[in-house]
């Protein structure tokens, strides 16, 4: 039950700041340039 509470608060802050506060990891990964121009081959074996 705590995870949904954390998610709801984070989503509320995201919406109230018009997206300026994003607690997900994608913005920092994107800013640092991880995985840019790299293709990962994924297979199910």
pLDDT per position as a tens digit, 2-20: 989 988 998 999 999 998 8
Q: Residue 22 and residue 28: Cα distance in Å, rounded?
A: 10
pLDDT per position as a tens digit, 20-34: 888 877 777 777 877
DSSP string, 1-45: -HHHHHHHHHHHHHHHTTTS---SSHHHHHHHTTTTT--------
pLDDT at 21: 86
Chain-centre distance of CA 6, in angstroms?
A: 14
Q: Return the closest-CA partner of residue 26 out of 18, 38, 16, 34.
A: 34
């Amino acid at each position: 039950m705590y995870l949904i509470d954390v998610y709801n608060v984070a989503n509320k802050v995201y919406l109230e700041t018009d997206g300026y506060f994003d607690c997900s990891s994608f913005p920092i990964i994107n800013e640092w340039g991880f995985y840019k121009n790299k293709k990962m081959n994924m297979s199910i074996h």
